[in-house]
Amino acid sequence: MSFSSIPRKPVPAGSLNQGWIYTHRAGSAAAGQKISAFYAARYRHSDQQVWQARLEAGEIHRNGQQLRADGSLAPGDRLAWHRPPWQEPPVPDQWQVVHDDGDILVIDKPSGLPVLPAGGFLEHTVLRLIERRQRHSAATATTGVPRPVHRLGRFTSGLLVLARQPATRAWLSALLRESTAAPESGCRKLYRALTQAGPLPIAVGERLEIHTPIGRWPHPLLGQVWAAASAADSAAAPLPAWSELHLLQVRPQAHLVEVAIRSGRPHQIRIHAASVGTPLLGDPLYLPGGQARPQALPGLGGYQLHAHRLVLPRPEGTWLELEAPLPPALELAPAAGG
């Protein structure tokens, strides 16, 4: 294991990005619906009047033709919103390289840095930063640009796996995704976190398995959000999920926990910790029980969650065991009087 330490500093908001094109295809249920209403229902951050103004500004195209006024949709219409360039919030843009064998790259992602474009971030992401830095590298022409195999939340720090070869990315992605169905694969993902100091049915040193399914629920700001469900919640289309919470230390205002996961559902650790009554300390979104707060968004920070250890089998049969150093707040505190 090798570490190359780089000071972490934020990318300033700086210049505008290049904008982005969001594409959609109207289904049969959208027949006769106003285009502005179609967009307002999908992007809750803007009401119908804002979308009408964007139509008048020529930002929206239908079937390849630029529009200047609202209109009604027909089934199969292809829509494209040409979002103008915008300034992105600053993010930390430096990281430690934990492992690099020429194909698989593993970095210690800093909290606050998105992995992939989403939620107002386009250029200030791991994907885009790596693409820009390695675009002119001589090695890139042979090995390819490292691309993320999985996703960590913006404010989750720690081990992020990337791969240069498409076949390696596909193999690792399937391995990480299917480790619930096949735990004998040996893939093991361990996280550290602080949870609220609520009651837990375990003592320090004990472990709690959590099997709460995770599904999509209505949300006033997003339309839908991932949250705790039950197997009977067919409307939420629940997905099975598995986490094991290990209580490491009880503090006056928080619990220090280690969490092993076999599934990789969206916001799984945040939801599972909340589902047993102890949401992550400072999490603005998930409430005790695992439901989402109506006026909060998944991309808001305030919690500490760190992808600490990862064990992966290699295609050739060897093992890759990796660890990202813990933030100070997630280290075991000295015992009182020690």
Indicate whether 134 pLDDT > 90.
no
User: Which CATH number is 89-177's, of 3.30.2350.10, 3.20.20.70, 3.90.1170.50, 3.40.50.720?
Assistant: 3.30.2350.10
CA pair distance 260, 270, nearest whole angstrom: 13
Residue spans of beta strands (DSSP E) within 170-299: 188-196, 207-210, 214-219, 223-228, 243-250, 254-261
Q: What is the DSSP letter of 162?
A: E
What is the tens place of the pLDDT at every residue in 49-71? 999 999 999 999 999 999 999 99
Common-topology check for domains 20-83 and 89-177: no
Asked if residues 108 and 324 have their Cβ atoms less than 8 Å apart, the reply is yes
- The CATH class given to the 189-306 domain equals alpha beta
Output the pLDDT for position 136: 64
- Predicted TM-score of the model (pTM): 0.86
Q: Does residue 5 have a pLDDT over 50?
A: no
> Can you give the residue ranges of every domain in the chain?
20-83, 89-177, 189-306
Q: At CB < 8 A and 24+ separation, what contacts does 133-141 make?
A: 139/102
DSSP codes of every residue in 259-278? EEESS--TTHHHHHHHHTT-
pLDDT tens-place string over residues 174-208 = 877 665 445 555 678 899 999 999 888 999 999 99
Q: What is the pLDDT of residues 249-260, one digit of tens each?
A: 999 999 999 999
Cα 18 to Cα 1, 84, 122, 196, distances in angstroms: 38, 7, 9, 41
Which tokens in the block code for residue 277? 């009554």
What architecture does CATH give domain 20-83?
Answer: Roll (3.10)
Reported as a single tens digit per residue, the pLDDT across 258-317 is 999 988 889 999 999 999 999 999 999 999 999 999 999 888 899 999 999 999 887 777
